[in-house]
Amino acid sequence: MQITINSNSYEATQGETVLDVAKRNGIYIPTLCYHAKTGQSAKCRACIVQVEGMRGFQTSCNLSARDGMTVQTESKEIIETQKQIVDLMLSQGYHNCLACERSGSCELQDVCYHLGIEKTTYADAPTGRKDESSEFIVIDYDKCISCGRCVTACNNVVVNEVLGFGHRGKHTTIMCDDNILMGDSSCVQCGECVQICPTGALTDKKSRGTGRGNLDKVDTTCPYCGVGCQITLHVDKAKNKVVRVTGREVWPNNGMLCVKGRYGFEFHASPKRLQYPLIRKNGKHERATWDEALDYIVERTKEIVAKHGPDVFSALGSGRITNENNYAIQKFTRAVVKTNNIDHCARTCHAPTVAGLAHAFGSGAATNSINDILESELLFVIGSNMTEAHPVVSYYVKQAVQKGAKMIVCDPRKVDIAHWSDLHVPLSVGTDVPFLNGLINEIIKNGWHDEEFMINNTENPEELKEWVKEYPVEVASKICGVPEETMHKVARMLGEAKKVNVIYCLGITEHTTGTDNVKTIANLQMVLGHIGKKGCGVNPLRGQNNVQGACDMGALPNVFHNYQSCIDERAILKMEKDWGVTGLSRKEGYKLPTMLHKATSGETKILFCVGDNTVQTEPNTAKTIKEIEALEFLVVVDIFPNMTTEYADVILPDVCFNEDDGTYSNLDRRVQFLHKAVNAPGESKPTWWIMQELGKRMGVDLGFHSAEHTWEDMRRTGTIMGGITYERIQHLGLQWPCPTVTHPGTPILHMNGKFTRGLGLFSHTTYRAQAELPDAEYPFILSTGRRLWHYHTGTQTRNSIGLENIFPEELLEISPYDAKIMNVKSGDMVKATSRRGTITLKAWVTDRSPKGVTWCAFHFHEAHANVLTNDAYDNVTETPEYKACAIQIEKVSDGVEVISRGFRQARP
Amino acid sequence: MSTPEKCACGNDDEDGLIERLEEIISSYKETPGALIPVLQATQSLFGYIPQKAILKISEILNEPLSSIFGVITFYSFFSLKPRGKYLIRVCMGTACYVQGANEVLTALQQQLEIKVGETTPDKLFTLDIGRCFGACGLAPIIMVNDDVHQFVKSSAVAKIIKNYRLHEPKTVEVQS
Ligand code: SF4
Ligand code: SF4
Ligand code: SF4
Ligand code: FES
Ligand code: FES
């Protein structure tokens, strides 16, 4: 249809508003309360227009375009009225732009500029009311125009449900919770409200006075979790520092971020960064030149390998470093040292996902995209504490629930996301296989399964029906501690929904039965026929920023990059030819735990460890330290000193996420770009450069002269990523498989039930209890995980300003039931002891923990979970059982009681 | 509004009341749109809406604190502060205003030593204002609970207050 605006004719489509059409055609209409994300609220009236045949003024932000409409946006009358509206608005507060953080990017200022308003013709009404109580956000009430954008954003975009309007008429004001200070409220400091506020009423506290118009903007990818949020760094070039972060309004995050991504940015400029190569001499780390350090590594490596063969060398890539750097490490390990002993920290998290899903479907990654969550009818969340570990995914999940999707949260703990669910199912720790098999049994019994899908698209459908007969609900219910009627209800909900999206995380994988757990989830979704469709699928939430990519790049002992088997002669010959080497190893390499075990028996002598911090992240720290000490030669490449660098013979300083170009692959297989924004400190160098230099010294030119060269080197022999070039992903990522440069990428795998492996494969899984069960001596189960406010071993989050003020030390979560028996209150010091070690930390009595189950994280080296965790592992993937070990608890001393009020996410 | 059962005699029993409130809220748990009836029940139980009650309602009904607070402050019927045994409402409608309601209000504020919206420390009187009570012929008007006082002069305020005080059993005065 056509509409006329200011006597020009424009094309408009059904559903567009007059504002949309004007905007699209570059016609400026002042707006304040409208934002694409929060939608129309028709509150501010700044956007008024006149329409022929309609009386008075209309607000264009909620005025649907109709064919033949004639609209005027700039008449004298309109401008005069707009002036009055804005004038009154200004008089309700106090708008002095001189020192306002928003000056230059303020929408109210833009509107005044457009209308030629210098100051209000009425008297200002300054109250001086400010709320500076929270760590990262300042509320300046005098600059609030009550547009409501922040309230809608907090309640309907990130769905944290903190902000609201209180009082009436001219006393209307935004407030947190029941009108308490933001710092005391349930706010998680995601900063969405700051990003969406059109004025200086909500601003970033840490960015005050750090610069406005003079900053460079660099688009890049968040260095924290696997969501892979797209961010813009605001950089002070002269100071070589990031001073502010905002979210880009594109997929996968649509502008939303979590507290780490938005406010955890100073670590790159921390004086604690490693800046020079260090060599251990006489028990002390001493500064060395790059030549000395590299020559020394080559000399020792050659010497040891010559004596004992290449398999005494092991290397670790990392889920925290770029694709390019992971590729560089694996190529060096395979092509120069000639061993397949390369692995990385996916071993400790999602290796069972890669193994289990590759087995069942032929591809070991998430089947659907993050945005599919909004299309699902039923979200089946199991073993995921997503509001803390993958916050932006949780925002979409909560949005879906608001739009009417149902949600079941299965987790022994009452994780915060359960607050938004229809049903929280607290199954016993480690009983996922019988629980899921019980559900499948019930689904088949009631004919809720998709018989056609099973017959046409899967292998072993009849066998599966037999296998699950071992787990009728009555039996399963007893093992997993879920009442039969709850299981019936869950099975019915799953069976009746048309689009079920299974989202899971480490609660599934970090068990001795990890791979079986994943296979059982795959079974469930194949029984329901919910694979290869929009809004469905099996969607593991990959943990670290690039743990998907580290797998994609072949930092694994059994595959080259893009999952090409390293024991398949064809693939080996292809690599030998392309890499210009011969004699690649023909046998699979060691997995991470095996690399370490073999140190004590002398079969591993060299460990080349990049971005891993093995000592703090592997289970059973005491044992890990023994293994690390048994090595003959340890090289650590990292950005900060940590528990592992202490043991290193050589330490090399790496660059971090904003100091070089590169790529990360996020949890929905999206390869996204990182732009260099600042210079690295001291003499730090990218890992690809280090590998190139080492290769050269050992007689192989690996061909890495820049991050892009390294990527291109990968792409030449790549398959599923062969079509992804730097040029294509400068602004937006691409989802693999993307085999050719014209391929648009693949949002959904196994489309229409055509599995990557042909037919989907059902597996037989049976219940095996966790390796270490509680007993009289160690009566509590300890489960572990991640916290919202911190990341990995804390080197990044604890070296950024503010996160540590919010969450300064690790807490042991204990159920109110157990706490009462032990006479422990929140804030008391307790000693937690397992068969492997002891840590002392404060207690947090919370109903997040069920009776008998305790929980803590591994971010703080002072008291971290891995001193206690059990090194028993999944027999297929060697992924340790971080989610269950047995401990005893002893009260050490009374503390100041922490009183919690109401529901507050992620902290007492 | 029904007369508060407990409000005027200190908060000795508020914990007991919270338990009763919990039962009430729970009975509404599955009812959509339960917030307003629950708040009404709270108001009549306590005579006002204590913070403890807001937290309980949020917990049981799974409603964000901010929406509950928004509703409470939107309707003047709800009060976040304890109310006195006698609620004095001064009509500020046009007729009353013209006839000197403002002077009456000032006199009341001086006499009770509180501002509008506040309650005397002995929890006897709460002072509030309202819009036209629909009896303009008798302006200016004040209402003390359900008693209407007509043609009130500011000089008469002290006497009206005294009268209510006189009817109070002595124990109330020494309390709190
Ligand atoms: S920071 Fe996030 S959670 Fe806090 S008030 Fe703003 S939008 Fe809500
Ligand atoms: S704080 Fe900002 S976004 Fe929120 S109502 Fe005020 S002006 Fe609007
Ligand atoms: S959700 Fe993950 S990727 Fe997004 S900002 Fe937070 S840590 Fe970064
Ligand atoms: S932008 Fe249209 S009314 Fe505010
Ligand atoms: S103005 Fe007071 S009763 Fe009408």
Secondary structure element (H or E) that encloses residue B175, with its range: none
Q: How far apart are CA A459 and CA A464, in angstroms?
A: 9
Chain B residues whose beta carbon lies within 8 Å of the beta carbon of residue A167: 73-74
CATH 3.40.50.740 assigned to domain A301-349+546-718? The reply is yes
- Residue B116, chain A, CB below 8 Å: the answer is no
For residues B33-50, average pLDDT: 89
Residue A174 CB–ligand 2 contact under 6 Å: yes
pLDDT exceeds 50 at position B172: no
A window 776-795, beta carbon within 8 A of B: none
Q: Are A784 and A505 in contact, with CB atoms under 8 Å apart?
A: no
Q: What's the pLDDT score for residue A250?
A: 94
User: Spelled out in words, what is the top-level CATH class assigned to the domain A780-893?
Assistant: mainly beta
A45 lines ligand 4 (CB under 6 A): yes
The residue behind tokens 């409130």 is B21
State how beta strands A48-51 and A70-72 pair: antiparallel
Strand partners, A278: A287, A651
In which residue ranges of chain A is pLDDT below 50?
none
**Residues A609-625: pLDDT tens digits?**
999 999 999 999 999 99
Q: Are A258 and A264 in contact (CB under 8 A)?
A: no
Which H or E element spans position A517? helix A514-528
Q: If pLDDT is split at 50, 70 and 90, which confidence band does B7 have? A: very low
Q: Would you call A186 and B58 a contact, using CB atoms and an 8 Å cutoff?
A: no
Name which of A155, A165, A204, A508 is nearest A356 in CA terms: A508
Ligand 1 pocket, residues with Cβ under 6 angstroms? A 137, 153-154, 158, 160, 162-163, 187-193
Of B98, B141, B149, B150, best ligand 5 pocket probe by most atoms within 8 Å of the beta carbon? B141
- Which of B58, B68, B70 shows the shortest C-beta gap to A165? B70
DSSP assignment of A303-334 equals: HHHHHH-GGGEEEE--TTS-HHHHHHHHHIII
Does any ligand 3 atom lie closer than 6 A to the CB of residue A257?
yes
Looking at residue A421, its amino acid is: S
Query: What's the confidence (pLDDT) of residue B5?
Result: 43
Residues 45-84 on B with a CB inside 8 Å of A are 51, 54-55, 58-59, 62, 64-70, 73-74
- Name which CATH class applies to B86-166: alpha beta
pLDDT digits (tens, 9 = 90+) for A692-724: 999 999 999 999 999 999 999 999 999 999 999
Q: What is the pLDDT of residue B16?
A: 81
Q: Count of CB atoms within 10 A of residue A515's CB?
A: 26
Band of residue B10 on the pLDDT scale cut at 50, 70, 90: very low
Best B55, B65, B76 member to test A by mutation, with max A CBs in 10 Å, is B65
Per-residue model confidence (pLDDT) at position A214: 86
Residue A372 CA to residue A381 CA, distance in Å, equals 14
Determine the distance separating the centroid of ligand 2 and the alpha carbon of A139, expressed in angstroms: 9
On whether the CB atoms of residues A425 and A414 are closer than 8 A, the answer is no
Tell me, what's the pLDDT at B82?
A: 81
Q: Enumerate the domain spans of chain B.
A: 14-74, 86-166
Q: Given a cut of 80, is residue B166 above it in pLDDT? A: yes
Chain A residue whose CA is closest to B66: A177
Which pLDDT band holds residue B170 (cuts at 50, 70, 90)?
A: low
The DSSP-derived string for B90-157 is EE-SHHHHHTTHHHHHHHHHHHHT--TT-B-TTS-EEEEEES--S-GGG-S-EEETTEEE-S--GGGH
Rounded Cα distance, A618 and A591, in Å:
13
The pTM of the full predicted model, rounded to 2 decimals, is 0.90
- CATH class of the domain whose range is A351-539: alpha beta
**Residue A639 to residue A654: CA distance in whole angstroms:** 5
Ligand 2 center to A147 CA (angstroms): 5
> Residue B30's pLDDT band (boundaries 50, 70, 90)?
confident
Q: In what side-by-side order are the strands of the sheet with B142-144? A: B125-130, B86-91, B142-144, B147-149
**Backbone angles phi and psi of A283, in degrees to 5:** 75, 0
pLDDT in tens, A824-841: 999 999 999 999 999 999
Handedness of CA A556, A560, A564, A568 (dihedral sign): negative
DSSP single-letter state for residue A465: H
Spatial distance between the Cα atoms of A826 and A807, rounded to a whole number of angstroms: 14
Q: How far apart are CA A540 and CA A682, in angstroms?
A: 39
Pairwise CA distance, residues A487 & A52, whole Å:
61
A626 touches B at CB < 8 Å: no
pLDDT at position B9 over 60: no
What average pLDDT does the structure give for chain B? 83
Q: Is A534 exposed, middle or buried, given 0-12, 13-18 or 19+ CB atoms closer than 10 A?
A: middle
pLDDT (average), residues B135-153: 90
CB A202 within 8 A of CB A137: yes
Compute the mean pLDDT over every residue in chain A, rounded to the nearest whole number.
94
Chain B residues with CB under 8 Å of A419 CB are 62
- Residues in chain A with CB shorter than 8 Å from the CB of B59 are 902-903
Q: Which of A179, A184, A417 to mutate to test the interface with B (most CBs of B within 10 A)?
A: A179
DSSP characters over A331-377: HIIIIII----EE-GGGGTTHHHHHHHHHHHS--S-SS-GGGGGG-S
3-class DSSP state for residue A301?
helix
Cross-chain CB nearest to A902 (options B58, B70, B73): B58
Nearest CB neighbour to B70, from listed A166, A186, A901: A166
Summarize the confidence of residues B74-82 as an average pLDDT. Answer: 82
Enumerate the CATH 3.40.50.740 domain ranges in chain A, comma separated.
Answer: 301-349+546-718
Q: Is A858 exposed, middle or buried (0-12, 13-18, 19+ CB in 10 A)?
A: buried
Asked if residues A437 and A763 have their Cβ atoms less than 8 Å apart, the reply is no
pLDDT of residue B46: 86
**Is ipTM strictly over 0.90?**
no
CB-count burial class (<10 Å; 0-12, 13-18, 19+) for B19: exposed
- Chain B hits for A151, CB-CB cut-off 8 Å, are 66
Give the residue from chain A lying closest to B61, CA to CA.
Answer: A419
Q: Exposed, middle or buried by CB within 10 Å (0-12, 13-18, 19+), for A252?
A: buried
Average pLDDT over residues B27-41: 89
